[in-house]
Amino acid sequence: MRINDVRQRVTTPLTSPAFPPVVPKFTDREYLNIVYRTDPEALRAVVPEPLEIDEPLVRFEVMKMGDVSGYGPYTEAGQAIPVTFDGERGEYLHAMHLDNFPATASGREVSAYPKTVGAPRLYVDSGALVGTLDYGTLRVATATMGYKHHELDPRTAEEQITVPTFMLKTIPGYDGTPRVQELVRTEITDLVVKAAYTGPARLQLFQHVLAPLADLPVLEVVAASHILTDLTLAPVKPVFDYLKGARS
């Protein structure tokens, strides 16, 4: 394989790449979102500067991807933390667990999504929308929400989903020190809200050393939503370089 051919490849193995070179488009992406109040000191211990925290809130999410170009269906769960950067409100993605290797590899390598393994599920059980996350054989999170109790204004649902997203991109060098270490920003585009609901909700988090979601404990459930959408993820852009100590 010639040098120019190698340069055209975005991932390895060269002859069977870990993920396709596509911009993923999501059809029938279903969300269960539960926003809860947590310990402010626990938040400060995990949110990197120069991001700033206003209220001690966390959004636990389970997302069932009905159809994703290049990856097929999969489910994902994790935590997002409301933050501000240079006066702009957004969310810092703290943890993401999913059951699809190409989507995991692409999210980490091409972008900066903090994706790792997990076994999330989203389903309806006896009048409740249920979202769970297992790591291996152990339960990490169980979320329940009344199924379609109240319709949610589509504009409110859109505002919940389209806030800017901040992530930490770290790539180690061969000597073990960071070769790239940046705060990056992305957002959702081409959003179509097909359905949106709210209702009562509960959330339980369980201790696990490799999936420490419970390090941000649930003190009070603030809000919940169930949303069905089509959307596209925009490419990431660096906004702060930790190695240079400067904004990009």
Read off the pLDDT of residues 7-46 as tens digits, 9 standing for 90 and up.
988 888 998 889 988 888 999 999 999 999 999 999 999 9
Residue position matching structure tokens 């769970």? 132
Distance CA(232)–CA(7), nearest Å, equals: 26
Q: Which of 25, 115, 148, 169 is catalytic?
A: 115
115 catalytic per annotation:
yes
Q: Do 226 and 32 touch, CB atoms closer than 8 A?
A: yes
Q: Which residues contact 97 (CB under 8 A, 6 or more apart)?
A: 76, 77, 78, 115, 116, 117, 118, 119, 120, 133, 135, 140, 211
Indicate the SS3 state at residue 36: strand
The pLDDT, as a whole number, for residue 248 is: 73
Closest CA to 228 of 169, 151, 172: 151
DSSP secondary structure code for residue 21 in this structure: S
- pLDDT tens for the chain, 248 residues long, are 999 999 988 888 998 889 988 888 999 999 999 999 999 999 999 999 999 999 999 999 999 999 999 999 999 999 999 999 999 999 999 999 999 999 999 999 989 999 999 999 999 999 999 999 999 999 999 999 999 999 999 999 999 999 999 999 999 999 999 999 999 999 999 999 999 999 999 999 999 999 999 999 999 999 999 999 999 999 999 999 999 988 87
Q: Sign of the C-alpha dihedral, residues 231, 171, 109, 136? A: negative
- Tell me the Ramachandran region of residue 128: left when phi exceeds 0, alpha when psi lies from -120 to 50, beta otherwise: beta
Structure tokens at 24: 């993923």
**Predicted TM-score (pTM) above 0.75:** yes
Phi-psi region of 137 (alpha: psi -120 to 50; beta: other; left: phi over 0): alpha
